[in-house]
A and B are shown apart, each in its own frame.
Chain A
């Protein structure tokens, strides 16, 4: 199967200080990969290289078989859903306008956007009649996160990037949303790249888990094989849930 995302010997450095060190991997369509690591391990940087918010210092990133450098960055980003921990909902937009953002940037007809927004809100478990006209500040943390996911899915992207999207939620809401999201992911069959420092979350969501430390990808293995890894960092993570 052709890779939908591929890193070839990617290094990313700021002022000569390497953040990512010679990373290579491939992700196939429909797969879900979780990058697990401590703060500063380079997992967020990996994500931003995929939608070209940053560019590699050396090496190359391929998306849908095409070098990210050859993509128009605006077009590329509109084809990729993006959810960050702070969510970044526009506070002056209603839920409906937030969710319909990429479709409206892509100049979809208004009725199509409207229908799509309602569909997306139902998908993430928010009743459109109740929530579409609210402003982000009128939502709870969990509701905001669902709106963030709905917004990322609205233009039907083939790839979804999620940067610790559930990190700011309380533990009960978090496990609820995680389970819902896993079901959603299975249903939609989208390629998903997820970043977290929470090993439980990695096990719930990841088809494969990529362990990162100090800018290096130590291993990228199926979740079931993670605990068998002969690596100090992997053991440290495994033991943290025991």
Chain B
């Protein structure tokens, strides 16, 4: 049970990230309820609206969560990196079960009860507030409960956009290939989901008499202020170290306060955040900038690539490339020693005739950017 030791050793982190996780989910669920319940009620009053509303909520539900987080980053006001984006994405995910259950709950009220109410002279709003909503409350609440359990799971992905939460452990563990670290995030998240399901289930049983909607509004502010600078990094070890180096240098040499948004979910997330003004700096590779962002073909002239990205970024995104950090970070291929000896391989070119029969293990970015693979 070494992950328990790990969790105990990092208990303050576990606790802090759990709180972040809970706050993120709680705000998203409250928002989703504040939007979804009125929409569900509107659908019962205007049945023609029910198809389009449900269709949109359904489509949102089918967007893969990481993609949804990614889509939101460049959008002003609601997007960016950090808690706000995560809350917006979680809210969107939570809408469907809440809207659907509100609609089903209210539509499911016995028509005889509705007719009796109308026949005795209740207005539509009296019927809604005194009869339909109280009778549907159990089902509406069941929708909130389902949405909460889903949101607790999806919120682990929020770490990819710098929103923190228990996903931090999971992403960190994946990049460190350390199961203990993954479990330190996964187990508290699973326990949270179970606790929420059980706790909300218990409330649900007593809910039929209780009527009241709690509405709390939180606003996440992730704007960088005058004497603060936001440093980002992608989600692999080298990037996290480089980001941290950058941050420490700035703290040591300037009076600026550094906000670290390390371990963000990849090149695109970092780039969008930078272009949108959510990040002030991160370390990027000229080759990656050329191929992944500018979508231009690979060249083998480092100085030419640097000049090309410098001008294209400035014109395209208003982003400045600094002087190079001074090292060339290239890739290598690893093969088993006995294979190399048997086939007499010294260079990558030597390997080309054999590669059709090989299975390659490549980093995701390498596959996507097509910088190394075509030649093989």
* A74→B131 contact, CB < 8 A: no
> Chain B contacts of A84 at CB under 8 A?
112, 115-116, 119
Chain A residue at minimal CB-CB distance from B124: A74
Cβ–Cβ contact B119 & A51, under 8 A: yes
B120–A92 contact, CB under 8 A?
Answer: no
From B110, B119, B130, B135, contact of A77 by CB (8 A): B119
Nearest A residue to B130 via CB reads A90
Interface residue range, chain B: 20 to 34
Closest A residue to B208 using CB positions: A92
Which B residues are in CB contact (< 8 Å) with A91?
Answer: 113, 135
Residues on A with beta carbons closer than 8 Å to the beta carbon of B208: 92
**Is A105's beta carbon under 8 Å from chain B?**
yes
Q: How far is the CA of A151 from the CA of B113 in the complex (A)?
A: 13
On whether the beta carbons of B131 and A90 are closer than 8 Å, the reply is yes
Contact string, A229-241, partner B, CB cutoff 8 A, digits 1/0?
0000000000000
Docked pose: A78 CA to B118 CA in angstroms: 10
Q: Would you call the interface of chain B mostly helix, strand, loop, or mixed?
A: helix
Please give the distance in Å from B267's CB to the nearest CB on chain A. 56
Cβ-neighbour of A92 out of B116, B117, B121, B135 (below 8 A): B135
User: B117 contacts A88, CB within 8 Å?
Assistant: yes
Cβ B122 vs Cβ A88 within 8 A:
no
Q: Are A88 and B121 in contact (CB under 8 A)?
A: no
Q: Among B112, B119, B126, B131, which residue has its beta carbon within 8 angstroms of that of A53? A: B119
Nearest CB of A to B24, in Å? 35
CB of A185 to closest CB in B, whole Å: 19
B106 to chain A, nearest CB (A): 14
Whether a CB of chain B sits under 8 angstroms from the CB of A5 is no
Please, which residues of chain A bring their CB within 8 A of the CB of B118? 53, 77
User: With a CB–CB cut-off of 8 A, which chain B residues contact A151?
Assistant: 120
Q: CB within 8 A of B113: which of A77, A78, A88, A152?
A: A88
The verdict on B300 contacting chain A, using a C-beta distance below 8 Å, is no
Q: Which residues of B contact A51 (CB under 8 A)?
A: 119
Closest-CB distance, A223 to chain B (whole angstroms): 27
Question: CB-defined interface of A66-101 with B at 8 Å, one 1/0 digit per residue?
Answer: 000000011111100010101111111000000001
Q: How long is the Cα–Cα vector from A180 to B299 in the complex, in angstroms?
A: 99
Q: Is A102 close to B, CB under 8 A?
A: yes
Jot down 29 A-B pairs with beta carbons below 8 A, ordered by A.
A53-B119, A73-B121, A74-B122, A76-B121, A77-B118, A77-B119, A77-B121, A78-B121, A84-B119, A86-B110, A87-B112, A87-B116, A88-B110, A88-B112, A88-B113, A88-B114, A88-B116, A89-B116, A91-B135, A92-B135, A92-B208, A101-B120, A101-B122, A102-B120, A102-B121, A105-B120, A105-B121, A105-B122, A152-B120
Q: Could you list which residues of chain B lie within 8 angstroms of chain A, going by C-beta atoms?
A: 110, 112-123, 126, 130-131, 134-135, 208-209
